[in-house]
Structure 1
Amino acid sequence: MPQTDVIIIGSGLAALSVAYHLRHKHVKLITKSTWSESNSMLAQGGIAAAVAQNDSWKNHFEDTITAGCDHNNVKNVKYLVQEGPTELNEWIQRGVKFDCDQNGRLLLGKEGAHSHHRIIHAGGDATGKELTSFLFNQTKSYVQIIENEIAIDLIMDQNQCQGVYTKNKQGEVKSYISSHVIIASGGCGAVYGQTSNADVITGDGIAMAFRAGAELSDMEFVQFHPTMLYISGKCVGLISEAVRGEGATLITQNGDAFMHNIHYQGDLAPRDIVSRTIFEKMEKGNEVFLDITAIKNFSTRFPTISALCKQNGIDIASGKIPVAPGMHFLMGGIKTNENGETTIQNLFAVGEAACTGVHGANRLASNSLLEGLVFGKRIANYLSTLSNEQPDLRKESNQIKQLKEKPDLPTKKQIQEIMTTYVGILRSKTGLLYAINWFEKYREYISIQIFNVKDFTINEIEIINMLTNGWIIAMSALKRTESRGGHYRIDYPKRNDLTWQGKQVIITNSEMVMEV
C-alpha cells in the first residue's frame, strides 16, 4: 500500500490551498473526476474582504453574523474576517490578477447582506476558475494528483483514520495509507434536482466521515441561491448575486418589482429571504426575471453569464433573464475545530465539506472562497507542527460487511425528487417524516460501516452517498423545531429565540438505531 504524509480528497480551492502550503510534505491529492471539475471552478462571485478605507473587519464580522442568524461560531468568524485582507494581499503578491480600475485600484462589488462594497473579483464573473487554476498551477509540480478515482471509505482502526480506499473507472480498488487525511470534497448539491453544484458533488466525503463515526453538524442548513437561470422548468446554471449588486432587479412577468416590500435591503436581502420570496411567487403561478437593463456593458462585466444565456437561447438584449432558486451551498458538514480536526483522530475536513461554524445558518455571499483559502492555510500550518508517524498496518481493523443480498437502490432522480419536495426551501414535520421513512427503506446502506466495494459500481456508491446525505439533512431538519436561515419550517415560521440557545444539531451513525 502506498504511504504518504497527507492525503487530500478533493480538488477545489480549499483542497489546493492546503496543498499549496504543504510543499514540505509528501502530499497526494485524490479526485473522483478531473482536477478542474469542482464547485470552486464554477464560482462566479468573488472573495469578500474588508479592504476599503471606509470598511473594517468588524463590519464584515457583523454582516456575517447577521446573515448567519446568530448561529455562527464567533471565534472562527473573527479569524476569517480578520485574516481576509492579509490573505487577499498575499495572493496578489503571488501573482493573482484581480479586477482593477484604470488606476490599478481593486474594483469592489457589493452582494446580498453586505453593508459595504467589499467583493473582489477576477476575470469578471470567473473568480473561482481564476483562483483555482492559479493554485493548481502553483502546486502541480510538488503534489501528486490522482484523477478519476472516487474515495470509497476511510481506512479505520478504532477511532483513528489510517487512509482511504478508492475505486477507479475500471473497477479497481486501491488502498492509500497516510498519516493524515483531509476531506475537501465539497458539499452534497446533487441530492437536489435543481442545483448550482457540479454533477460530481454527491456528498461522498461527508458520507464517508459519517460511516466512520465522525460527528456531523448543522446539516439542516441548506442555502438555495435565489437566481439560477431557469429554462423549461429546469435550472441550468448560476446567475451571480453580483448581477443584483450591479443594479439588476427581480421582477415578475408583469414587471412588478417585489423585494423592496419584503426586506429593507431589497434585492440584496440575505439569500434565504430572497429564495423563499421567489419560491412563493412561483408557487402562485408567477414567472420571475432579473431585469438587467440598468447594467451597462453587461456582456463585458459578466462574460460567463452572458455565454450561459446565449447557450440557452436567452437574448440579454431583451433585458430580462428568467430565474428560480436552486440548491447552492451546505452550511453544515463534518464538525471540525478551528484547526480542521474532526472527532476522528488524524481526520481533517476543510471547505464546504466541513462545518467550522463560520457560516451559521446562512452563508454570507462570497465568504466561501475566503473560507477555503484562510482555513486551508490554517490547517496546513497546523499539520506542519505534527509528526508524520505512519500508521501501523497491522492495526488496520476495517471489516467489510457482507450483505446477505443486494436490494434494489433508488435512482438519483428519485432521491432528488424526495429532497426537493419534502426537504427543500419550505419544510414541515409531515413532509420531513415522509422523507425520513422513505430513506429508511435503505437503512442498511446508510448505516453500513464499510462497503464491500466489489459489489457496487461507482454510480451505486454515489447513490448510497446521496441516500446518506439526504437522510441526515431530513433528520437534522426534523430535529430543529424553529425557522432560522436556510432552514424554514412552515409549522414553526418564526425564530424561537426564547428557547433557542445556539445549540448545533449533531448527527452521528448511532442515530440509525433510532426509530422515527
Structure 2
Amino acid sequence: MEIEDVLIIGSGVAALQLASKLGTDFNVKVLTKSTVRHGNSLLAQGGVAAAVGLNDGPEKHVADTLEAGRFHNDESVVREIVHDGPGLINTFFEIFDKNQEGRLQLGLEGAHSEPRIIHSGGDTTGKNMMEHLIGRMPRNVQVEEDMFTYELIMDQSQNRCIGVKSKDQQGVLHCFYGRHIVLATGGCGQLYSFTSNAQTATGDGIAMAYLAGAEVADMEFIQFHPTLLHINGATKGLISEAVRGEGAVLVTEDGKPVMENVHELKDLAPRHIVSQKIFDCLKSGQRVFLDISGISQFSQRFPSITAMCEQNGVRLSEGRIPVAPGSHFLMGGIKTDLTGRTSIDGLYAIGEVACTGFHGANRLASNSLLEGLYQGKRLAHWIRANKGTDPLAQWSVMDPINLHKKVKFPEVQMLKERMMTHVGIVRSKALLEEQKQWLDQFRMNEIRGLDTYSVRELTTIFMGITASLMTEAALNRTESRGGHFRSDFPFEDDQKWSEKTIIHKYKGEVGETHEHVKASLVH
C-alpha cells in the first residue's frame, strides 16, 4: 500500500504554494475534483494586498484588515500574515505589473487606506500566479485530476486522519493514505444562486471535516461581492473591486450615485456596506450600474473583464456595466491555528476552507491570495520539521457497510435560491428559522454509507450540510457584524465582537474507521 508523505486535497494557490515549498524530499500527491486550472484562485482578478508602497506600512494594513473584519479578527494572526506580506510577494515579482521605472504598480480597493493591491496582467492575477506555481512544481509532486474526495479515513482510537476516499469520473472508489492530510478545497459560493465562485466551490472540505469530527467556526460570515455582472436576472462573473479603485462609480439607471451619503468612502466602502446598499436598490426595483466612463483605456487595464462583458452583449462604449451582489468568500470554515492544524491530528486546512481568524467578520479586499501564500509556506515549514508517523491501513473491496435508506435530496437550484433569500445579504430570525426547518426535512445528518452515493449525490449532500452549518451559525449570532446582517438585530453588540461561533464535532458515525479498514499508527 502506497503512503504519501503529504496528501493535498485541492489545487488552488494555497495548495500549490504548499506543494512547491515542501522540497523534493517528500512524496506529495495532489487530488483535485476537476483540473488544476479550474477553481477560484484562477478567477481572482484584483490582486494581492501587501504593504510595499512608499507611504504604506504593515501597521496600516493591519489596521485596515481589523476595521474591515469588524474587529472579530485574531489580531496576532493578522499581524503575522500582514508583516510577512512583502516577503511573500517577492517570489512572484517577475509576474507582477510594473510602471516605467520598474516599480510595482499599486492599485486601490475598497476599505484600503493606501494603494497596495499588486496585480498581474491587469486583472488576471490569480491565473498568472497559478501558472507561475504550476511552472515551478517539483517533480516529486503528483497531481491526479477529476478525483472527487468525499470522506476522511479516521483512526478513531487516536483521533487521527490517515487518508481519504475518492471517486474518479467513472465512479470507481480509490483510497489514499498519508502522514499529513491537507484540505485546500476552497469555499462554498455555489450554495447561492448569485455567486462569483467557480462551479467547484460547493463546501466539500467543510462538510467532510465536520462529518469526521473537526470543529467548524464562524460559518455565518459570508462576504457578498457588490459587483457581479448582472444580465437578464443572472450573474455572469466578477467585476473586480479594482474597477471602482480606478474611478468607476455605482449609479442607478437614471444616473443617481448609489453610495452618496452612505459611507465616507463612498464606492470604496467595505464590501458588506456596498452590497447591502445595492441589494436595497434592486429590491426596490432599481437597476444598478458601474459607470466606467471616467476610466481611460479600460480594455487595456481590465482585459478579462472586457472580454466577459463583450461575450455577454454589454457595450462598454456606453460606459455602463449592469451589476448585482453575489456570494464571493467565506470568512469561516474549518477551525485551524495559523499553521493550518485542525482539531483532528494529522488533518490540516489551508486557504478559504480554513478559519484562522485572519479575515474576521469581513475579508479585506485582496487579502485572500495573501493568506493562501502565507499558509502554504508556513505549513510546508512545519511539515518539514515534523515528518509524521506512518498510518498502516488495509483496504479490501467488500459490500458496502452501514447501508441505510437513502436520504431524499433538495433540488440544487432551489437550495441555491433559498440560501440567497433566507441566508443571504439581509437575514432575520424568521427567515433563518424557515430555512432551518426546510433543510431539516432532508435529515442530512442521518446519512450513512457514503460509498453508495454518486458524485452528484455527494455534492448535493455536502451542499446541504454546509448550508445547515451556515444557517445554524447565522441564527446563533444575534447581532449584525461584517458580512452577517440581521434586520432584527441591525447593530453590533460590544459583548459579542470576539465570540467565535464554533460548531463542535459531528456526533454521528460518518468518518469513523470502517470495520474493514484496520488502521493503527506506528510511532
Are 1:408 and 2:408 an aligned pair? yes
Aligned length: 505
Task: Tell me the CA shift for residue 446 of structure 1.
Answer: 3.1
User: Is the Cα contact below 8 Å between 1:446 and 1:464 reproduced in 2?
Assistant: no
Task: Tell me the CA shift for residue 409 of structure 1.
Answer: 1.2
User: Is the Cα contact below 8 Å between 1:447 and 1:509 reproduced in 2?
Assistant: no
The one-letter amino acid paired with 1:40 is S
User: Is the Cα contact below 8 Å between 1:157 and 1:395 reproduced in 2?
Assistant: no
User: Is the Cα contact below 8 Å between 1:46 and 1:369 reproduced in 2?
Assistant: yes
Alpha-carbon separation, structure 1, partners of 2:279 and 2:235 = 13
Structure 1 unaligned spans of 5+ = none
Alpha-carbon separation, structure 2, partners of 1:31 and 1:395 = 22
Task: Tell me the CA shift for residue 411 of structure 1.
Answer: 1.9
Counterpart in the other structure of 2:149: 151
Counterpart in the other structure of 2:307: 307
Counterpart in the other structure of 2:190: 190
Alpha-carbon separation, structure 2, partners of 1:318 and 1:512 = 57
Which of the numbers 474, 479, 482 marks the counterpart of 1:477? 474
Provide closer, same or farther for how the CA distance between residues 413 and 140 of structure 1 changes in structure 2, counting only shifts above 3 A.
farther
User: Is the Cα contact below 8 Å between 2:211 and 2:508 reproduced in 1?
Assistant: no
Task: Tell me the CA shift for residue 84 of structure 1.
Answer: 0.3
Are 1:459 and 2:460 an aligned pair? no
Are 1:84 and 2:90 an aligned pair? no
Alpha-carbon separation, structure 1, partners of 2:508 and 2:262 = 40
Counterpart in the other structure of 2:66: 65
Report the secondary structure of 1:259's partner residue.
coil
Task: Tell me the CA shift for residue 501 of structure 1.
Answer: 5.0
User: Is the Cα contact below 8 Å between 1:482 and 1:494 reproduced in 2?
Assistant: yes
User: Is the Cα contact below 8 Å between 2:211 and 2:506 reproduced in 1?
Assistant: no
User: Is the Cα contact below 8 Å between 2:214 and 2:506 reproduced in 1?
Assistant: no
Task: Tell me the CA shift for residue 316 of structure 1.
Answer: 0.5
Are 1:504 and 2:500 an aligned pair? yes
Counterpart in the other structure of 2:56: 55
The one-letter amino acid paired with 1:390 is D
Counterpart in the other structure of 2:521: none
Counterpart in the other structure of 2:99: 101
Are 1:495 and 2:496 an aligned pair? no
Task: Tell me the CA shift for residue 401 of structure 1.
Answer: 5.7
Counterpart in the other structure of 1:259: 259
Report the secondary structure of 2:91's partner residue.
helix
Task: Tell me the CA shift for residue 387 of structure 1.
Answer: 2.5
Report the secondary structure of 1:290's partner residue.
strand
The one-letter amino acid paired with 1:452 is L
Provide closer, same or farther for how the CA distance between residues 400 and 360 of structure 1 changes in structure 2, counting only shifts above 3 A.
farther
Report the secondary structure of 1:442's partner residue.
coil
Write out the 4+ residue segments of structure 1 that deviate beyond 3 Å after TM superposition.
509-513
Residue-by-residue CA offset, 1:248-304 (whole Å, 9 max, x unaligned)? 000000100021310000000000000000000110110000000010000000000
Structure 2 unaligned spans of 5+ = 510-523
- TM-score scaled by structure 2? 0.94
User: Is the Cα contact below 8 Å between 1:2 and 1:175 reproduced in 2?
Assistant: no
Provide closer, same or farther for how the CA distance between residues 299 and 435 of structure 1 changes in structure 2, counting only shifts above 3 A.
same
Equivalent runs, 1:101-250 vs 2, <5 Å:
101-139=99-137, 141-158=139-156, 159-250=159-250
Task: Tell me the CA shift for residue 395 of structure 1.
Answer: 11
Report percent identity of matched pairs.
49
Residue-by-residue CA offset, 1:371-424 (whole Å, 9 max, x unaligned)? 00011100110111112321132799xx97634322331221121022111000
Alpha-carbon separation, structure 1, partners of 2:90 and 2:21 = 16
The one-letter amino acid paired with 1:461 is L
Report the secondary structure of 1:494's partner residue.
coil
User: Is the Cα contact below 8 Å between 2:210 and 2:506 reproduced in 1?
Assistant: no
Task: Tell me the CA shift for residue 90 of structure 1.
Answer: 2.8
- TM-score scaled by structure 1? 0.95
Alpha-carbon separation, structure 2, partners of 1:295 and 1:106 = 20
User: Is the Cα contact below 8 Å between 1:8 and 1:27 reproduced in 2?
Assistant: yes
Alpha-carbon separation, structure 2, partners of 1:127 and 1:478 = 36
